């Protein structure tokens, strides 16, 4: 292996690497990437950067102009969606695959509202940029029962690609494949690690990424594994071999700056996809939950003595908080327009 290779080079040789950001400079500096992922927390951080003052105003103006087309949507909610799309469109030229937009977390327990919101996002892309190839839009949807039912309808009826996000269990992964999701995003660490300083996830889900991918391959399921919520370069390297992996800017830069031969934990990390104990672990028989809502719900509740369901609840709550913050920002911008 060439000494000049970096850890990012190695990772790209084994996995499709995606950027977990709405900062276009990252895609320009380290791209092209395959996909670009985002969520309300990423959008909240990015849209409040001073450099986006004009973009915020543009989003607010477009929301006003388009409000008659979407009369059932609050103006500030529409402006937030447009702001996310404007950021995503900046990154889009530096991608070879999908641009991912996360569904409104307040709809996490309504399949109908999630479907409506996802279809609106796709429609807004075309409203804003008529040349947009909408087949390259993927909607990230929380892995609740209702969210996964929405994925089923979007994939089968509306030809909209979906990703099952905030995923912490094999039961969620099995149902995501059953409903036809393009991707799942197992959260390696619960979302709390990014918000509570000093907190570490006592039960990170690294092994779930391997188990889900082996399950899909063993049962010839086309859904792909896209690990998310990583906290170190070493974690990224331990997942080399995942079909996709989405990585935040700081970790991307660290991987790009670290030579393969470096004396660092990341360079010394061994991929779990090469771990014989995981590679030869029994694969569960094909699970079917589509007609068993109660069975699926209790399986989720009982996973890891309830911890995994708690992680899902925390993530949805946090993204709701971020959505509220985004809408407050947009309310102020809309008011400033007069």
pLDDT, one tens digit per residue, over 290-325 is 999 999 999 999 999 999 999 999 999 999 999 999
Q: Please answer whether residues 189 and 230 qualify as being in contact, where contact means their C-beta atoms are separated by less than 8 angstroms.
A: yes
- Centre a 10 Å sphere on the Cβ of residue 299 and count the other Cβ atoms it contains: 19
- Per-residue pLDDT tens for 148-165? 999 999 999 999 999 999
| All structural domains of the chain with their residue ranges | 7-337
Helices (H) and strands (E) in the chain, counts: 15, 8
Is it true that the peptide bond before 32 is cis, omega within 30 degrees of 0? yes
Prediction pTM value: 0.96
Encoding tokens for residue 122?
């796709």
- Per-residue pLDDT tens for 268-296? 999 999 999 998 899 999 999 999 999 99
- Per-residue pLDDT tens for 106-133? 999 999 999 999 999 999 999 999 999 9
Encoding tokens for residue 261?
């031969």
Say what the pLDDT of residue 1 is.
46
**7-337 architecture in CATH?**
Alpha-Beta Barrel (3.20)
Q: What is the dihedral of CA 44, 226, 290, 151, to 10 degrees?
A: 40
- Per-residue pLDDT tens for 180-197? 999 999 999 999 999 999
Beta strands in the chain (DSSP E): 16-20, 36-37, 99-102, 137-142, 161-167, 183-186, 224-225, 244-247
Q: Is the pLDDT of residue 328 over 50?
A: yes
- Per-residue pLDDT tens for 55-85? 999 999 999 999 999 999 999 999 999 999 9
Q: Is the pLDDT of residue 3 over 70?
A: no
Q: 313-338: buried (b, 16+ CB within 10 Å) or exposed (e) per residue?
A: ebbbebbeebbebbbebbbebbeeee
| Whole-angstrom Cα Rg for the chain | 20
Whole-angstrom distance, CA of residue 309 vs CA of residue 297: 9
């Amino acid at each position: 292996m060439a000494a000049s290779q970096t850890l990012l080079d190695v990772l790209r040789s084994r996995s499709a690497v995606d950027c977990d950001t709405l900062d276009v400079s990252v895609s320009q500096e380290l791209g092209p990437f395959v996909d670009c992922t985002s969520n309300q927390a990423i959008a909240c951080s990015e849209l409040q950067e001073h450099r986006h003052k004009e973009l915020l105003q543009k989003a607010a103006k477009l929301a006003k102009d388009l409000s008659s087309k979407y009369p059932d949507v609050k103006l500030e909610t529409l402006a937030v969606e447009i702001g996310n799309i404007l950021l995503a469109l900046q990154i889009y030229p530096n991608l070879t695959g999908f641009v991912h937009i996360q569904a409104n977390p307040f709809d996490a327990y309504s399949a109908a509202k999630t479907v409506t919101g996802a279809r609106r996002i796709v429609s807004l892309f075309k409203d804003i940029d008529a040349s947009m190839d909408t087949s390259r839009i993927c909607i990230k949807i929380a892995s609740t029962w209702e969210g996964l039912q929405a994925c089923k309808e979007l994939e089968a009826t509306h030809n909209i690609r979906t990703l099952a996000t905030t995923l912490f269990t094999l039961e969620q992964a099995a149902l995501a494949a059953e409903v036809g999701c393009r991707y799942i995003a197992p959260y390696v660490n619960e979302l709390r690690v990014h918000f509570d300083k000093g907190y570490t996830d006592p039960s990170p889900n690294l092994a779930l990424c391997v188990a889900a991918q082996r399950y899909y391959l063993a049962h010839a399921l086309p859904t792909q594994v896209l690990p998310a919520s990583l906290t170190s370069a070493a974690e990224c390297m331990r997942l080399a071999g995942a079909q996709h992996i989405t990585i935040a800017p700081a970790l991307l830069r660290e991987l790009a700056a670290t030579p393969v031969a470096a004396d660092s934990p990341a360079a010394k990390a061994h991929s779990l996809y090469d771990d014989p104990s995981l590679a030869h672990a029994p694969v569960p028989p094909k699970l079917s939950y589509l007609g068993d809502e109660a069975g699926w719900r209790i399986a989720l509740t009982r996973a890891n003595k309830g911890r995994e369901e708690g992680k899902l609840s925390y993530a949805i709550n946090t993204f709701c908080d971020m959505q509220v913050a985004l809408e407050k920002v947009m309310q102020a911008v809309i008011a400033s327009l007069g």
